[in-house]
Structure 1
Amino acid sequence: MNSEIRHKILKLLYNNPSLTQRELSEELGLSLGQVNYCLKAVIDKGWIKVKNFKNSQNKLAYSYLLTPSGIEEKIRLTFEYYKIKKKEYEEIKSEIEELKIQMENSTFESLVVD
């Protein structure tokens, strides 16, 4: 499981600990099996604690609570994710500037292919 998926899982569960695996699957764009695998991995790392409770339909449900080490990992991943996205933003910004210069230096006639 890559750090982006770990970050998203921890962020989603931090904001809504009672999300179901199906809801996580939809939010993440992953299969239920993949979500189950990822949840098991973060539980094994000690980042999430699972609690059972009865939901409104009187069915057994789970609440996924971030542990203190899970909150630390979420913060660490947030900084890592921020650095990656900032770098991507700067690269795209540079590409856009280059394209603007190319467009300004081009005439319509030079764009038409014979």
Structure 2
Amino acid sequence: MTEKDSDPALTLGLLSEIEAERSTSQRRLAGQLGVALGLTNAYLKRCINKGWIKVRQVPARRCLYYLTPQGFAEKTRLTREYLESSFQFFRVARQECTDAFAECQARGWTRVVLLGAGDLAEVAVIAAHEAEVELVAVVDPARNRDRFAGLPLLRDLPPRDTFDAVLVTDVIDPQARFAAAIRRLPPQRVMTPALLHVSRGRGASDRGRAAGNEDLVGEDLIERGDAA
């Protein structure tokens, strides 16, 4: 497979699925990606050649693969590229923010903080007008202003008793933002729009720990080791 023939969206999907899944077969992985088993195998080989996935021989004539730090970086780059270039970004983002707020409402979480100032946060503000939730603030340590999209712009989370849940809206490095959030909040209260491709599985949420942990992907079975 040449660079010209490769599909960035499929590569992103493959890296995301490998990072997120604790155990799966290549056949199931092909089903999740919606492509043929042979094409899935071809993309796995390409990712190995690129250094995004490494392979290890193990007993029982199996090969195990794991996502490398370069693989995590490529996943972040592809996610950002997809969000910046997709003509459907606004429609998809608005629907997913609406769905996230509906889930909050169903759980009785009426006060929400946005994690990350940017285009996705602005879409979330629009979506919130149609939902029965209150946006408390936007948190982004990289911004120096006092307000964003009419909301207080903070460098850190406000007091815990002032909000019920958070929604990740950082498109630069949503995985890192999610990892930082779940160190301080229950994971179920950290909402992540699907378009950000955030891996919520154990051992996949902290890239710093993952660099020292082998997230294993087998030729016939994909297994993830526990985080160190």
Q: Is the 8 A contact 1:51 1:64 kept in 2?
A: yes
Check conservation: 1:43, 1:49, Cα contact below 8 A. yes
Q: How does 1:47-66 map to 2 (within 5 A)?
A: 47-52=52-57, 61-66=62-67
More strand by share: 2
Identity of aligned residues (%): 35
Q: Does the alignment pair 1:46 with 2:89?
A: no
- CA–CA separation in structure 2 for the residues paired with 1:48 and 1:68: 9
What residue number does 2:34 align with? 29
Matched, 1:9 2:14: yes
Tell me how large the CA RMSD over aligned residues is. 2.4
Match of 2:88, SS?
A: helix
Could you list the runs of 5+ residues in structure 1 that have no partner in the other structure? 94-114
Whichever residue aligns with residue 76 of structure 1, its letter is R
> Which residue of the partner structure matches residue 75 of structure 2?
74
8 Å contact kept, 1:18–1:64: no
Instruction: State the SS of the aligned residue for 1:30.
Output: coil
> How high is the TM-score relative to the length of structure 1?
0.64
- The CA distance in 1 between the partners of 2:82 and 2:65, in whole Å, is 22
Cα displacement (A) at 1:52 = 4.7
Number of matched pairs:
88
Matched-pair contact (CA < 8 Å) for 1:20–1:62: no
Question: TM-score under structure 2 normalisation?
Answer: 0.34
